[in-house]
Amino acid sequence: MVRLVSGMTVTERQIALVVLLALSLIGLAMAAGGRGDPMGAQGFVVLVFSVGLAFAVMAGYYAPEPDESRLTRYYDDPTKVGIVLTVIWAVVGMAVGVWVASLLAWPELTFVDQAWASFGRLRPVHTSGVIFGFGGNALIATSFHVLQRTSRARLPDQFTPWFVLIGYNLFCIVAASGYLMGITQSKEYAEPEWYADIWLVIVWVVYFLLYLRTLARRKEPHIYVANWYYMAFILVVAVLHIVNNLAVPVSWGHAKSYSLFSGVQDAMTEWWYGHNAVAFFLTSGFLGMMYYYLPKRAGRPIFSYRLSIISFWGITFFYMWAGSHHLHYTALPQWVQTLGMSFSIMLLVPSWASAGNALATLNGAWHKVRDDAVLRFMMVAAVFYGLSTFEGSFMAIRPVNSLSHYTDWTVGHVHAGALGWVAMITFGSLYALVPWMWKRETMYSPKLIEVHFWLALAGTIVYVFAMWNSGIIQGLMWRTYNDGGTLAYSFLDSVEAMHPYYIARAFGGLLFLSGAVVCASNVWLTIRAAQRERRGETGTDVPIVAGAMQAGE
């Protein structure tokens, strides 16, 4: 902790303390103004978070200032902490996922007879935990790394990246703790209430400005395509988040708010947001990751740089219009549904261009893919990216959607993307990045990477096949008529038919979670080994504190 603070200049430490003081005052105001309302408890979360961090900053406040030689290195402390947070959120988010999957298979498993332990409150902890906690932290951590390397420029200062990373995690914690208390605005993937939303806007704008400030300092004339993807992720998520969350709170002291939209407009805004969250949160940023770490790990340049540019603009401009395919056969005007359907089909072109580009990059390096589990993670990710984008385009076709909508097929599709693509590319990138960050040759145990790979792949396949089966059975049961012209099966019949698949799904999830736990231990062991090595080195040398103080004076 002290070491992290000592990377900041004294002025930056002061700014950090002022920001944390302001934040704790806001927390206090929320706790006081929101007493008798769930917001009061959220205020205490903010208060404890910011006061706790302020103590951490104060502990390192009198550490010597970093010397000027820091400017000859990239600033990687926020990336390192971001990696650790990514892994923690992965385990937490996926564990809650296994929990809710088990609740679906065995509803009597609700062993705590408390409101917070009910399915409805735990489920968003899982979705937000994996999407925003795991995915978001991975994106922030890797984006800082990729941005600096491809620009050949250091981040402009030492405070802003911390503000983005820590501020973002405060949002995640406020969101998750709020769900357990029953706070939600009932918009899927946008559940957090107005105060958390406003905070995220502030963090996100700072994130975008940090990106622009670093790019302005770049020493490479051309901005590498990975940065385009990261920037599209940051910029579009800001736009989506702001518009979809326009709402009026009941009062300053109430967590509850009312959306500015209603009826079908509300549904359209929500799914314009929701599908673009898939596009720009779960695709664009992770493509940025892929376009950097895949060529880097394979030791080969990307197959076609031009293709990556064309697919970038294809993805950015087509995805924007695809959201209405979530609202087939609803009150939404037919032409808007058709528009969403057409754009979803067109999306296959840029999506497969990216997936093909990744696989073509590996063409000629298949022996590396065979031997190196890290590269295999990335290869499988590209394959699942191709598969799930094809599936998505297919499911967006109105008649197909009439079978798949409201069934587990959708859940299977989402997890083919989330486990097979997003998590696989993230784990692959993390395994490449961790040794670079902690200055080691390899991860602590390459064998454990291998174990993780097979657990993750097996888990994904079990999960996805279980949900395909379950979903299609559901869809068919709901549209089977008997001779009398009435439905052949009751809804409960279809629920009973799903039971074996729900058990399989929970098992697949458990495999995937075990893989994440293996990853967490491997990362932890790598960091510990690196720290031991460093201690061993400095122990025989001159005292480092005295040297640093002289340079600072």
Partner 1 sequence: MEIAHDVVVAFSKSWGLFYLVGFSLCVVAYAYWPGNRKAFTRAKMSVLDTDDRPLGDRPLGPEA
- Which of 254, 256, 296, 398 contacts partner 1 by CB under 8 A? 296
**Residue 552 found at the interface with partner 1 (CB under 8 A):** no
**Residue 543 found at the interface with partner 1 (CB under 8 A):** no
- Which of 1, 109, 488, 551 contacts partner 1 by CB under 8 A? 551
Q: Which of residues 433-452 bind partner 1 (CB under 8 A)?
A: 436
- Which of 36, 69, 482, 542 contacts partner 1 by CB under 8 A? 69
Beta bridge partners of 274: none
Toward partner 1, which CB reaches closer, 348 or 513? 348
Alpha carbon dihedral 449, 135, 82, 200, in 10-degree steps, equals -170
Secondary element (H or E) of residue 248: strand 247-249
Q: Which residues are CB-neighbours of 56 under 8 A, at least 6 positions away?
A: 1, 5
HEC states along 358-417?
A: HHHHHCCCHHHHHHCHHHHHHHHHHHHHHHHHHHHHHHCCHHHHHHHCCCHHHHHHHHHH
**Tokens (6 digits) for 450:** 């291998």
**Residue 295 found at the interface with partner 1 (CB under 8 A):** yes
Give me the sign of the Cα torsion angle 402, 407, 408, 412. positive
**Which residue in this structure is represented by tokens 């902490």?**
81
Toward partner 1, which CB reaches closer, 184 or 214? 214
- DSSP single-letter state for residue 279: I
Beta bridge partners of 248: 258
**Contact (CB, 8 A) for 78 and 165:** yes
Give one DSSP letter per residue of 462-501, joined into a string: HHHHHHHHHHHHHHHHHT-B-TTSSBSS-HHHHHHHHHHH
Terminal alpha carbon distance of the chain: 23
Residue 383: burial class (beta carbons within 10 Å; 0-12, 13-18, 19+)? middle
In three-state secondary structure terms, 16 is helix
Toward partner 1, which CB reaches closer, 159 or 312? 312
**Residue 301 found at the interface with partner 1 (CB under 8 A):** yes
- Which of 9, 10, 51, 154 contacts partner 1 by CB under 8 A? 154
Closest distance between partner 1 and the C-beta of residue 435, in Å? 12
- Return the closest-CA partner of residue 183 out of 127, 133, 256, 245: 256
- Which of 35, 217, 370, 499 contacts partner 1 by CB under 8 A? 217
Closest distance between partner 1 and the C-beta of residue 153, in Å? 5
Judged by CB under 8 A, which stretch of 53-61, 219-227, 272-280, 508-516 contacts partner 1?
A: 219-227
Closest distance between partner 1 and the C-beta of residue 15, in Å? 22
Toward partner 1, which CB reaches closer, 149 or 254? 149
Q: Which of residues 373-432 bind partner 1 (CB under 8 A)?
A: none
**Residue 225 found at the interface with partner 1 (CB under 8 A):** yes
Closest distance between partner 1 and the C-beta of residue 188, in Å? 26
Toward partner 1, which CB reaches closer, 299 or 539? 299
Closest distance between partner 1 and the C-beta of residue 525, in Å? 23
Site string for partner 1, 3-22 (x = CB under 8 A): --------------------
**Contact (CB, 8 A) for 312 and 229:** yes
- Which of 9, 58, 64, 149 contacts partner 1 by CB under 8 A? 149
**Residue 129 found at the interface with partner 1 (CB under 8 A):** no
Toward partner 1, which CB reaches closer, 114 or 334? 334
Residues forming contacts to partner 1 in the complex (CB under 8 A) are 68-69, 71-74, 148-150, 152-154, 217, 219-222, 224-225, 292, 295-296, 299-302, 305-307, 309-310, 313-314, 317, 335, 339, 436, 551
